[in-house]
Structure 1
Amino acid sequence: MSSDATGIHKLEDVVDLGKFLQARRARVNPGEVGLPDDARRRVPGLRREELALLAGVSVDYYTRLEQGRAKRPSDQVLDAVARALRLDETTRAHLHRLAGNSRRDMLRERSGVRPSLETMLAAIDGFPALILNHRQDVLASNRLARLLYGGFGWELESGPNFVRLLFDDDSREFFPDWYAVCSHETVAQLRKMAALFPDDAEMTALIGELSVRHRDFAEMWAHAEVMDCNIGWVRFEHPMVGLLQLYKDQFRVADGSGQMLVTLTAAPGTDGYEKLALLGAEG
């Protein structure tokens, strides 16, 4: 993150192609791509000339690309650079988006939740479900979600931001896999959404605040990871029912708002299913 003279953090490392390339280049181990990893390297990762060699472009052209002086690089060049940087499909798409300097795929924030989504959320009774916006503010939640997170002292009805909650010191007690499952994936997803909402002042302020307050966040942000909606198992250490393992799915709302429906489920007959039932009955 960088800041101007007033100390206000900006999203330069999200929307700036050069800064993104520098961050990703620093993460590639020379030995993993067949290059000597000598002790004379002053900075981690690949040198510019090494990346250019791997991508099959001239050093001069790659330098201009990182410096923002290469106008509209071709898809072929970007794909070659993505391969050299060992990017996955989601991060490759992010690279193309930055290089194209186009906002045709940028999204537009919606102020509230559509009534149809509110109705659907209210009808979901057997497992926790909630709706987040692109900043991961809680816009709506069902009864079981409020019971689940209420056990940690999180009041979902107040519309908290999930990223802030996850980086609170107490959250590590609630999530046994805090680093790998919660915060790391959350930061990577936040980076992607920040690029889709580059003019969102609240997003800018959130990232700046977390970067200053939490060293873990700042380090994860510097990794320049980009991730789509994350799915998979999440473990909770709940004060009422103990260890609870649920499967997390995120469904992007197809209206261009950046909102997503998040569900936490467990198959009937499993320990997680029984504990959700117990939590619902006790609440």
Structure 2
Amino acid sequence: MTTVAPRSDVRRHELADFLRSRRERITPEQVGLPRGRRRRTPGLRREEVAQLSAVGVTWYTWLEQAREIQVSAQVLDALARALLLDASERAHLFALAGAADPAPNTPCPSVTPALRAMLDQLAPLPACVQNSRYDILAYNSTYGRLLCDLDALPREDRNCLWLAFTDPDWRESVVDHAETLRILAAKFRASMAEHLAEPAWKALVARLEARSPEFREVWARHEVVGQGARTKYILNRHVGLLHLEHTSLWLGPAPGPRLVTYAPLDEETRARLERLRALTETQTRARTQTRAQDPAGPAGPAPAPGPVAV
């Protein structure tokens, strides 16, 4: 009698073979590792992939051995980056693993066309969509110029925690800077309790600790704070001081993606937000005209303000 292997077994073996083939094609020099004199393995070693992906060597070995283990989207994302997968290979990796791809250059399932339209219509109120790791998944034009020029930043840097501790423009815009950093780090630590083993969260903390002594000092306090609405003063470099109420509307079970809005608390702030929207619209038109006149020219600023999925 012929026995047909379960579909899950086939998927695991295909995934194992695919990972092995991608690992063997990459040279150490491509990922900034020394080759050494006694290298016999074609491409990278398993422990090198594990190191680059911030996962355990044993765990990654089991993955290449097609063992029945669970793999999260965050781990797959880290592996895809470590193995230098292109878009097609990345899609294949996630398909084999049966997981949704959270990549910055793919549509976020939480950011629907209707939600994008809502973000635009909320302007001049600054609004964005964030996940529990404080990645900025989408934003409207006024939020894109509220604290810094988000469009000019790489997608991987569009994270509130990263910007609050490292971006000069963002830091200058926050009036009560020290207290804001303390609360933000405490909220992040509370959110991270459910994601302690996930490489993407650990990688963000490691990146911040390597870059910011201030973050290391605040993070070492182990403070935790829950989510909630707050009033904020923001000193916008274009229109001046803004007095705003910060509110989060959860788009699913908490903790998860949320719609964040900043409502004006006085008429002067409302008028200044209107001026900020007018400014962003002028900049958008100028950038669009520049790209139309010289589409093959040198890389300029990132795309014009508006909802951007990451």
What is the DSSP-based 3-state SS (H/G/I as helix, E as strand, rest coil) of the residue aligned with 2:186?
Answer: helix
- In structure 2, distance between residues paired with 1:109 and 1:258: 15
**CA offsets, 1:116-173, max 9 Å, x none?**
4333323322300000112111100012211323xx3332885411111111151332
Q: Is 1:281 matched with 2:270?
A: no
Q: Is 1:155 matched with 2:154?
A: no
Assess if the C-alpha contact under 8 Å between 2:53 and 2:199 holds in 1.
no
- Aligned positions, number: 177
- In structure 2, distance between residues paired with 1:226 and 1:9: 25
- Aligned CA distance change for structure 1 residues 158 and 215 (closer, same or farther; 3 Å): closer
**CA offsets, 1:29-50, max 9 Å, x none?**
xxxxxxxxxxxxxxxxxxxxxx
**CA offsets, 1:64-90, max 9 Å, x none?**
xxxxxxxxxxxxxxxxxxxxxxxxxxx
Assess if the C-alpha contact under 8 Å between 1:141 and 1:156 holds in 2.
no
Q: In angstroms, what is the RMSD of aligned CA positions?
A: 2.8
What is the DSSP-based 3-state SS (H/G/I as helix, E as strand, rest coil) of the residue aligned with 1:196?
Answer: coil
* Structure-to-structure mapping, 1:205-244, within 5 angstroms: 205-244=203-242
- Per the normalisation by structure 2, the TM-score is 0.51
Q: Structure 2: where are the runs of 5+ without partners?
A: 1-50, 56-98, 103-107, 281-310
* Structure-to-structure mapping, 1:28-177, within 5 angstroms: 111=102, 112=108, 113-115=110-112, 116-149=114-147, 152-155=148-151, 158-159=154-155, 160-168=158-166, 170=168, 171-177=170-176
| Corresponding position of 2:187 | 189
- Per the normalisation by structure 1, the TM-score is 0.55
* Structure-to-structure mapping, 1:260-279, within 5 angstroms: 260-267=258-265, 270-279=267-276
1:198 CA displacement: 2.5
| Corresponding position of 1:64 | none
| Corresponding position of 1:247 | 245
What is the DSSP-based 3-state SS (H/G/I as helix, E as strand, rest coil) of the residue aligned with 2:166?
Answer: coil
Q: Structure 1: where are the runs of 5+ without partners?
A: 1-5, 11-107
- Aligned CA distance change for structure 1 residues 169 and 277 (closer, same or farther; 3 Å): closer
What is the DSSP-based 3-state SS (H/G/I as helix, E as strand, rest coil) of the residue aligned with 1:263?
Answer: strand
Assess if the C-alpha contact under 8 Å between 2:54 and 2:199 holds in 1.
no
- In structure 1, distance between residues paired with 2:178 and 2:100: 29
Which amino acid in the other structure matches residue 172 of structure 1?
Answer: R
- In structure 1, distance between residues paired with 2:222 and 2:174: 23
Which amino acid in the other structure matches residue 213 of structure 1?
Answer: R
Aligned-residue sequence identity (percent) comes to 25
- Aligned CA distance change for structure 1 residues 230 and 8 (closer, same or farther; 3 Å): farther
What is the DSSP-based 3-state SS (H/G/I as helix, E as strand, rest coil) of the residue aligned with 2:244?
Answer: strand
- In structure 2, distance between residues paired with 1:163 and 1:187: 7
- Aligned CA distance change for structure 1 residues 139 and 185 (closer, same or farther; 3 Å): same
